[in-house]
Amino acid sequence: MRIVVHGQEAFGKAVLEKLLERGENVVAVFCAPDKEGKARDPLAIFATEKGLPVHQPTSWKTPEALELMRSFKPDVCVMAYVTLFVPQPVIDTPTYGTFQYHPSLLPLHRGPSAISWPIAMGKTHTGLTIFWPDEGLDEGPILLQKECDIGPDETLGDVYFKKLFPMGVDAMIESLDLVRTGKAPKVPQDHSKKTYEYRFKKELAEIDWSKPASDVYNLIRAVNPAPGAWTTIKGTKVDLYDSTKVAGSGKPGEILSISDAGMTVAAAGGAILAKRVRAGTGPKVTAAEFAASNGLVVGDTFEAPKPKAAA
């Protein structure tokens, strides 16, 4: 089969590596455009090293982009982490269609932060979907799904890199084999059960210490390593990373203890032991180092979020 790989970053590279290891006929690679001041995409670098044609269109909404896809006469297009909108004529160009990876159990958690939101919501279960994309946002029919647990202390990084990433690479290959044998299903999504969450931007990751400790902990886990949950103390913005939920009581945001293990900070019904933090744009350091360098003592209090301006 003539295969086009469309993707980016480490996941796209891993899928391409697996395809080439199997001796698949990859005829072209598409990935995101290079960004000024940033390193070239790992998928683009790897594909170039392997002598494959690499194209990085800034948009797929042009006649030229459609003709580019058609020029490779693809049997199938494998979408491995795609952020650009791809119109239906491009999606439909390959003889057997286009399938795409999404890191949630669709129709749940449509959107760009599909791993973070289940963790932030305190869910204990998630998974991935390989689906046939259309012009809707993550709305196309399902080809296959894989499930996994979210451990009580697992972070965004844990769930993605230890579970959904390797599972996803294998699922893409399994999907290709199903397409090759004509056994790939197209199961319509139950749109009545859909959920959609917006991108988990930095402003959504501010900690409100008056909320239950479990909610605070889930937020910290959901955005570790990026974009990082944050709070402020004495005018300094602080990102919290490695943390643990512990027993404790005090007013919201109050530092209950400081030790080599970290800073224990009170929330509703419990506390958070912050182990690793970052102040401003500085490096990540232990919470004990941060407390010492900023003169923090037991009883100092992290600030409450400022009221949001009315829309």
Instruction: Judge if 208 and 132 occupy the same domain.
Output: no
What is the reported pLDDT for 26? Answer: 98
Task: Please say whether the beta carbons of 81 and 7 come within 8 A.
Answer: yes
Token pair 């993605």: residue: 160
Residue carrying structure tokens 């799904």? 145
Judge if 157 and 238 occupy the same domain.
no
Q: What is the pLDDT of residues 246-297, one digit of tens each?
A: 999 999 999 999 999 999 999 999 999 999 999 988 999 999 999 999 999 9
pLDDT tens readout for residues 57-77: 999 999 999 999 999 999 999
Within 8 A by CB and 6+ apart from 36, the residues are none
Domain boundary among 171, 193, 215: 193
151 with 218, same domain: the answer is no
On whether residue 300 sits in a domain, the answer given is no
Domain annotation covers residue 307 = no
CATH number of the domain to which 30 belongs: 3.40.50.170
Please indicate, yes or no, whether residues 147 and 224 belong to a single structural domain of this protein. no
Q: Looking at the structure, tell me whether residues 152 and 209 fall in a common domain.
A: no
Asked if the structure places residue 302 within a domain, the reply is no
Domain membership of residue 309 (yes or no) is no
Looking up residue 250, the CATH number of its domain turns out to be 3.10.25.10
Looking at the structure, tell me whether residues 182 and 127 fall in a common domain. yes
Which residues of the chain fall below pLDDT 50?
Answer: 311
The predicted pLDDT at position 309 comes to 60
Please give the Cα distance from 263 to 290 (Å, whole number). Answer: 9
User: The whole model's pTM is what?
Assistant: 0.94
The distance from CA 242 to its chain's CA centroid, rounded to whole angstroms, is 18
For residue 167, the surrounding DSSP H or E stretch is helix 165-180
The residue segments making up the domain with residue 163 are 2-193
The answer on 237 and 95 residing in a single domain is no
The number of domains in the chain is 2
